[in-house]
Structure 1
Amino acid sequence: MIVIGILGSVYFQNLGELNNALLNESSKAIEFAISLAGIMAFWMGIMNIAKDSGLIEKIGDRLSPIMKKLFPSVPKGHKAMSYIVMNMALNMLGAGNGATAFGLKAMDELQTLNRKKDTASNDMIMFLVINISSVQIIPFTMLKVRGDAGAQFPNEIIVTTLFATIISTFVGIVTCKLFQRRNDK
C-alpha cells in the first residue's frame, strides 16, 4: 500500500502532499500509540494484581461450567484457563491491546494440550473465535479514539457496542460448535 501510494503520488504529481501527510500523520500515530500504551499498562497491571490476588482463580471457578462447555479439552486448574479468563476480561473492558499478551500465553498453553502440533485444536479455534468477536462491556480504546477525534459524546456507543459484540460472540460460538460437531462425525 505504501508503494502504491508513492507511485500514485508520483504519477499524479503531488509528492508535496505525500510528504506533508507522512510528516503530520506519522507524528499523530506516535502520539496515539503512546496514549494507548498508558491504557494498556494500566489494565495489564490490574489483571496481574487480579491474578496474583487469586481473583482470576475465583472468577474462573464461577465461570467453570460455561468454560468447560466452551473448552472441553482443558483440564480443571490448567494455566490455559486462567490466561483465557484474563484475556476475556480485558477484552470485555475494551482493552484489547492489553489482552493480546494473555491471549498469546493462552494459545501457548493450549498448544501444550494439543495432540496434533501442526493443526489447531478445537479449543484453540474456539478461543480465537471468542477473542476476535469479544464482548465489549466498556470499549475503553474506542472511547479514547472517539474522545481524541473530538466526539461530543464519545460514550454514546457503549450500548450498541455491547449489543453487537454479544450477538457476534454468540453467533461465533454457535457456528464454531456446529463445525466441531460436523468434523467430529
Structure 2
Amino acid sequence: MINFIWMGLIIIGIVVGAINGNMKEINEATFEGAKIGVTICFGLISVLVFWLGLMKIAEESGLLALFAKLLRPVVRFLFPDVPKDSPALGYILSNISANLFGLGNAATPMGLKAMTELQKINPHPDRASSAMITFLALNTSGLTLIPTTIIAIRLNYESANAVEIVGTTLFATCCGTLVAILLDKWYRRKYRSSF
C-alpha cells in the first residue's frame, strides 16, 4: 500500500510541476536527491560494516552468548507464554541485541524470523498473539545504547560532535521502552482472555 502512496505523491508532484512550468527544478531536485541518497548510503555502509564486524567478533568470542544469557530472564518475563525451547526466543534476543547497538538494518531479518516463529506457536493464527504484540511494542520503542545509524548520518554531514546524541537517545528510548512494557503488561492483564 505504501508503494502506491509514494507513487501517487511522486506523480502528483511531477504533474503539478509540469503545469506550473517547473520541470527544470524537478529534474535538478531529482538528480540532487539521488546524489544525496548515494552519499548517505556510502556513509551508512562504512559504519554498519564496522559495527556488524564488531558484532561478529562479539559472537565468535562468546560475548553475544553471554549477553543473551544475561537478557534471557528479562525475555522470559516479557514473553511468559513462549515455550523455553522455542527458536523465537533466540531470534528475539538477537533482535534486541542488534537494536541495542543501533543496528536496525541488522535487526530487521531477526525480527521477521522471530515473528514467523511466534506465528507458528500462535493459538489463533488469524490474529496477533500477546507475544507478537509484546515483541512489536519492544521493537517499535527500540531501546538503543549506541545509535550507530544516526551517528553515521551525522558523521556524513560533518557534525562537530556526532556522538553527542548518545545520552538523549538512550534517555528517550529508555522512556519509550518502559512505557511500551508497562502498557503491554496493563493490556495483558486487562484483556488476557481476548488474546
TM-score (norm: length of structure 1): 0.89
Q: What do residues 83-130 of structure 1 show as CA deviations (whole Å, max 9, x unaligned)?
A: 111111111111111110111111111111111111111111111111
- Residue 74 of structure 1 corresponds to 82
- Residue 161 of structure 1 corresponds to 169
Residue identity opposite 2:170 in structure 1: L
Q: For 2:185, which of 162, 174, 177 is the aligned residue?
A: 177
Preserved contact between residue 137 and residue 158 of structure 1 (Cα < 8 Å): yes
Per the TM alignment, residue 160 of structure 1 is displaced from its structure 2 partner at its CA by 0.4
Per the TM alignment, residue 20 of structure 1 is displaced from its structure 2 partner at its CA by 0.7
Q: CA RMSD for the aligned pairs?
A: 2.0
Distance in 2, Cα, partners of 1:117 & 1:54: 36
Distance in 1, Cα, partners of 2:115 & 2:62: 21
Matched, 1:137 2:145: yes
Q: What do residues 16-74 of structure 1 show as CA deviations (whole Å, max 9, x unaligned)?
A: 01001111211321332344344445555555665566554433332222111101111
Preserved contact between residue 94 and residue 110 of structure 2 (Cα < 8 Å): yes
- Residue 123 of structure 1 corresponds to 131
Per the TM alignment, residue 11 of structure 1 is displaced from its structure 2 partner at its CA by 3.0
Partner-residue secondary structure (3-state), 1:156: coil
Matched, 1:113 2:108: no
Partner-residue secondary structure (3-state), 2:35: helix
1:40/1:102 CA distance change after superposition, 3 Å:
farther
- Residue 73 of structure 2 corresponds to 65
Distance in 1, Cα, partners of 2:145 & 2:63: 19
Q: Which runs of 5+ in 2 are unaligned?
A: 1-8
Q: Which runs of 5+ in 1 are unaligned?
A: none
1:35/1:133 CA distance change after superposition, 3 Å:
same
Partner-residue secondary structure (3-state), 1:155: coil
Preserved contact between residue 144 and residue 170 of structure 2 (Cα < 8 Å): yes
Distance in 2, Cα, partners of 1:127 & 1:73: 12
Distance in 1, Cα, partners of 2:47 & 2:156: 14
Aligned length: 185
1:52/1:80 CA distance change after superposition, 3 Å:
farther
Q: What do residues 117-164 of structure 1 show as CA deviations (whole Å, max 9, x unaligned)?
A: 111111111111111111111100000111112221111111001000
Residue identity opposite 1:95 in structure 2: L
